[in-house]
Amino acid sequence: MGRVETEAAARPAALAELETSAQGPRMSDFALPDTVLVDGTPIRYAVSGSGSRDLVLVHGYRAHHGWWYRMLPALEERWRVIRFDLSGHGDSGHRDRYGVDVWTSDLITVLDAVGSRQALLVGHSMGGRIAAVAGADHPDRFGGIVMFDSMLRPAGSPPPRMASLPPGREIRYPTRDVAAARFRLRPPQPEPSAEVVRPVAEYAVRPSTAAQGWTWKFDQRGLPLIDNDRVTESLARLRNPVWFVRAGRSLIVSDEVAAYARAALPAGTTFVTVPEAHHHLVLDATDECLRLLADLHADLAATVRPWSTG
């Protein structure tokens, strides 16, 4: 499916400028040191933590692996944590074509590169939809699936409305600080504190390669929404334990979506609501998310094989 680069990938351009923040995580803390090629596209990833069992994190649409940064230190105490940027996102390469099968290939190739034969698969938003497809297509690779506030809809549903970008051109800002200041969580929600959002915003921007200034890292030529019917078909084939976690104040997982999830996900799925959380609960309800995954660490000890045993 791909091959592993033998040398660490080059540090992103202008990284020195990005490391000047006085407080909190620096950009160097977010940098992904390793690369695997998937159909010729570089996918950046990292492995950390002292646990004997694997946990892999899949970010959402137009996002990047840094969305998980607040959870990472605690997860590393219990798990071997695998994180990466999907193609078209973060520091991974861009393609001419994207889709759920492409992103699933990114995921599986990263797992192959790090020798992970079974993991707890954790996805936020679109990442949860990718997790559903990956879990259905590769059931032996995962001991369980956690979906954090992922939209599930019946087959044939019209696509959700998304804010569009100017066609055929990248959005540019004069400086890194101006670009990062324009960062907003989507869908809109009460923003966590500036200290929480700043590292995520700073990692989301890069120097423009087309002209002077700064722009977003995600592929602005157009990232498609996931094929909903492909996701729906996968739900019926899931055989691993599934945890569907809803944010109580989410604008993505409505009561209607939650009701469909209960009907479509396999019998035995565990449904959890974090009452006061919004869609980006991995940022604004970090402690609650960590408590859930801590409970799962004990529950899955018998079903997620230690990575060192192959």
Question: Of the ranges 20-34, 145-159, 225-239, 276-290, which one carries the lowest mean pLDDT score?
Answer: 20-34
Average pLDDT, the chain: 87
Instruction: Kindly state the average pLDDT of the residues 51-64.
Output: 95
Structural domain boundaries of the chain?
A: 2-12+32-157+219-309
Neighbouring residues of 216: CB distance < 8 A, sequence distance ≥ 6: 62, 170, 171, 179, 204, 205, 206
pLDDT at 163 over 70: no
On the question of pLDDT at 215 being above 60, the answer is yes
Return the higher-pLDDT residue of 80 and 310. 80
H-type alpha helices, the chain: 15-18, 27-30, 72-78, 100-113, 126-137, 176-181, 194-203, 228-235, 255-264, 281-284, 286-299
Q: What pLDDT, on a 0 to 100 scale, did the predictor assign at position 13?
A: 34
Fold of 2-12+32-157+219-309: Rossmann fold (3.40.50)
The pLDDT assigned to 11 comes to 32
pLDDT tier for residue 49 given thresholds of 50, 70 and 90: very high
Q: Other C-beta atoms within 10 Å of 179: how many?
A: 23
* Predicted TM-score (pTM) of this structure: 0.89
Average pLDDT rounded to a whole number, residues 73-92: 96
Residue 175: other Cβ atoms inside 10 A? 12
Nearest residue to 72 (alpha-carbon basis) of 303, 289, 246, 238: 289
Helix axis angle for 126-137 and 228-235, nearest 10°, is 50
Q: What is the three-class DSSP state of 103?
A: helix
